[in-house]
Chain A
Amino acid sequence: MSGNDRVRDVARGRLEPADYAANFADLHPPLTAHQAEVEADRCYFCHDAPCTVACPTTIDIALFIRQIATRNPAGSGATIFKQNIMGGMCARVCPTEQLCEEACVRNSAEGKPVKIGLLQRHATDHLIEAGRQVFSRAAPTGKHIAIVGAGPAGLACAHRLAVLGHEATVFEARPKPGGLNEYGIAAYKTVDGFAQAEIEYITAIGGITIDYGKRLGDDVTLEQLAQDYDAVFLGLGMGAVNGLGLDHEDIEGVGDAVDYIADLRQTSDLSSLDVGRNVVVIGGGMTAIDIADQSKRLGAEHVTLVYRRGADRMAASDFEQELAKIDGVTIICDARPHRLIGEAGQIAAVEFEYTETDGDGRLRGTGEKFTLDADVLFKAIGQKFASNGALGLTLDGGRIAVDEARRTSMAGVWAGGDCIAGGQDLTVTAVEDGKRAAQSIDHTLRGA
């Protein structure tokens, strides 16, 4: 029962080759030296700078911008890496308009913050392109730490441990490192293989071994790691995605946004991807907005993102929402999927119901409905932690409970990134988790 006679339209190569290149080019091209100089000059070098306070990794932003202004780019990059070894990726993907740039006093002065993200990219690119290291390793401690997950949390932890003189072995289920940096972030935010270039830079310090194809629970166990190594850090990520809870979710054309984005990031030929003519995305976070925008950029004719609450509740930043709208994505708020309409085992349309929030803040349907044609339906309503062998740890809200130092309930086991309770699902917070855990591990192993 489709309600129309439309033929499902899913196709590859909807665009000309040049269009793919243009649509997936760097979203924010790097600043030229001149642009960086002009922008750096706008920084007031605030006392106890609000931007630094707003940064989850507490990068001394005023200092690194001053170092750009004084033509000390290596010193600038070092200032950033000291606090955040993934400062290069964070410069590209941080929602700066909600963090450092929101706090910039230039907002009060003239409504236009210093472009901190782009300046950070300028400084970090300088060091990574030159392959110039800013850390040297402390004397070997003879300690060996097992890290599970080569995502931002795991690699940040491994790097800091290496700096402190320890050895780290990282167990990674996938064939490439980087976690969501490699498999999840929108392609136009990290072009030219930057995720891998950054990891090469990070691991170049030495003392870090990555063991691929090792999934916790299947290939290694937490119990064994805890026994074989001096400490364990879990940077597992989420592992699973939420379902809609509707009938027929398994019919053809209904998929998880994270899987499609991973395919998009890994393909060398964007024209090989299946793209629906009518794409419907359900969700309101970064993944939802990214899949909607990228579908549009791959040539989908109509892309509609439907979110169950108001736009102000969307986890996707204002900038991301704006960008998607400019790219032609239709955003419908206050509606939730009611029924998947299939035809011959394939998705054809989705029926939605408008929602409202009652006095207690609970969402309820208004009874009013509408239907959207869908050749492809993406689910992007959040990921959830799948324990995947991280058994026996105390959870909090479905994720691993940790203390301030990122210690789990199990002695000798630390955790960080999206898998821990209170995680903000940002690269920058994952890096901070990894860094803090490494410091705590070091502290513990030295018996201080």
Chain B
Amino acid sequence: MPNIRNDFIGIKSPNPFWLASAPPTDKEYNVVRAFEAGWGGVVWKTLGEEGPPIVNVNGPRYGAIHAGDRRVIGFNNIELITDRPLEVNLREMKQVKRDWPDRAVIASIMVPCEEDAWAKILPLIEDTGVDGIELNFGCPHGMSERGMGAAVGQVPEYVGMVAAWCKKHSRMPVIVKLTPNITDVRQPARAAKQNGADAVSLINTINSIVSVDLDAMAPNPHTDGKGTHGGYCGEAVKPIALSMVSEIARDAETRGLPISGIGGITTWRDAVEFMALGSGNVQVCTAAMVYGFRIVEDMITGLETWMDDKGYDRLDDFVGRAVANVTDWQYLNLNYVVKARIDQDLCIKCGRCHIVCEDTSHQAITETVNRARHFEVIDAECVGCNLCVEVCPIEDCISMVAMTEGVDPRTNRPIDGTYANWTTHPNNPAAAAD
């Protein structure tokens, strides 16, 4: 059986599945249940300054986007950082770390952007014996209006400054959690790295209004008739997170900076995808909040089985393996031609491939052949766009097949196996002159 032990910036855990700093990690009771279920580590719910804790609304905190059958595919929350006293959290963290020495316990911190505030809290945390700290520069709601969370994460200089304070006032590994509510996520990542951060984690939640209550005419969730934007997460944000992870993984200035991947991870496959794009481990929240902690059992066995099938012995064997294949559009091979192929034995004749191609794309799929309902690709029209593949209800019924010889009947260009991209294309005004 492959070894799925994880070593992330020197923090060891029996598997790469951590629970992200969020409601599931707010207190000892939940965290112990998570460890009993098999989670490799937790990032404790974000701690604030000593003193009276923040307060949450007493109205609803969560909202969701549902797919058919009410499957939660996107989730939104307006909960703030922990609303329990600092000393209670610290006491519980210390106890949990003592009771579960093989699991990773990370403290998430959000205090005002002043060196004193950080200098004051860091020793208290270090005293608990936890494995490291994560700087919450991400929360898009509630705290950002007070100059914390995303308000810091959106300014690379602040990110770097706080990361430097943490390294100065603590010996603990420092993970900087990044907000996606920014134009270029590489900027704060660079700042973190330049100022000594050991790793970044991303993404935090995305600014969102999840839906509008059309009776109350107010955003959901609403409290006493008013609502506010929250943080969006869950399966729906995974593509955004994967893209941001890949940008940091392949950026010349941040290449090699350890990444803890976060954003809609629901299954072992999602986790593997984040790791293939350069995440050393992953953090999960929404999936656990939707299904409970037991999902980690499938994540563990799914990962092990997949590694076994692929012949990977350790996580490092595949972490980052897909990074080199992420490129800029301009370097894609314009001589590579694919055509859709419909497996008639699998086709159930729903006709969706036809109608979407006909209405919205390239008129490349028949409706009838010899007056019988029959869906077949017209190669002379097919641009290989993949729309039919994605709308077909039957997986693998339609596939994209690369042409390896002959002439593309759409363009009349020969298929010669050569590589040519936009940078040298004659239609590109900026093409390098030969």
Contacts and interface: CB of A to CB of B under 8 A. Distances in A.
Interface of A: 37-38, 40-42, 44-50, 69, 105-106, 108-109
B393 A47 contact: no
B209 to A, nearest CB: 20
A108 B352 contact: no
Contacts of B69: 37-38, 41
B354 interface: yes
Given A109-B393, A109-B394, A44 B350 contact: yes
B373 A48 contact: yes
B60 interface: no
- Sort A-B residue pairs by CB-CB distance and give the 9 closest, nearest first: A41-B68, A47-B351, A47-B355, A108-B348, A105-B348, A46-B350, A44-B350, A105-B350, A109-B348
A50 B374 CA distance: 12
Contacts of A106: 348
Interface string B383-421: 000000000011000000000000000000000000000
A48 B352 CA distance: 9
Interface string B351-388: 11011000000000001000001000000000000000
A41 B69 CA distance: 7
Nearest to A38: B69
Nearest to B391: A44
Given A109-B393, A109-B394, A46 B68 contact: no
Interface residues of B, number: 14
Contacts of A38: 68-69
Contacts of B349: 46, 50, 105, 108
B68 A47 contact: no
B352 A45 contact: yes
Given A46-B349, A47-B352, A50-B373, 15 more contacts: A37-B68, A40-B68, A44-B393, A45-B352, A46-B352, A47-B351, A47-B367, A48-B373, A49-B351, A69-B68, A106-B348, A108-B348, A108-B349, A109-B393, A109-B394
Nearest to A40: B68
A48 to B, nearest CB: 6
Contacts of B394: 109
Interface in B36-77: 68-70
A42 B348 CA distance: 14
Contact of B351 (A40, A48, A108): A48
Contact of A48 (B348, B367, B393): B367
Contacts of A37: 68-70
Contacts of B393: 44, 109
17 contacts: A37-B68, A37-B69, A37-B70, A38-B68, A44-B350, A44-B393, A45-B352, A46-B350, A46-B351, A46-B352, A47-B350, A47-B351, A47-B355, A47-B367, A69-B68, A105-B349, A108-B348
B360 to A, nearest CB: 12
Contacts of B351: 46-49
A38 B69 CA distance: 5
Contacts of B352: 44-47
B354 A47 contact: yes
Contacts of A108: 348-349
A46 B367 CA distance: 12
A347 B217 CA distance: 72
A106 to B, nearest CB: 8
Nearest to B349: A105
A374 B354 CA distance: 59
A38 B351 CA distance: 22
| Residue of A45, A106, A109 with most chain B CB atoms under a 10 A cut-off | A109
Interface in B309-349: 348-349
A3 to B, nearest CB: 57
Contacts of A45: 352
Contacts of A41: 68-69
A326 B349 CA distance: 34
Nearest to B354: A47
A69 B70 CA distance: 11
Contacts of B367: 47-48
Contacts of B354: 47
Nearest to A50: B349
A113 to B, nearest CB: 11
Contacts of B373: 48, 50
Contacts of B70: 37
A171 to B, nearest CB: 44
A109 B350 CA distance: 10
A116 to B, nearest CB: 15
Contacts of A69: 68
Contacts of A47: 350-352, 354-355, 367
A40 B70 CA distance: 12
